[in-house]
Amino acid sequence: MKSQQVAKAAQEKCPYCEGKGYFQLLLGGSETCCECRGDGHHQKNS
């Protein structure tokens, strides 16, 4: 049961980029999200 909770937590969307892994810039282009490092998943510090 605990392993399922850990797996689910690892798959949560990053709250900063909404799971996209990047930010769309207003003047064009995009930038990698520094919180999830571009993978789109929320990374918890354990």
Return the pLDDT at 14. 92
* pLDDT tens-digit readout, 1-46: 555 555 555 568 999 999 999 999 999 999 999 999 999 998 766 5
- How far apart CA 4 and CA 36 sit, in angstroms, is 21
pTM over 0.85: no
Which residues have CB under 8 Å from 4's CB, separation 6+? none
Return the pLDDT at 33. 93
- State the pairing for strand pair 30-32/22-24: antiparallel
Return the pLDDT at 31. 95
Return the pLDDT at 9. 52
How distant is the alpha carbon of residue 28 from its chain centre? 21
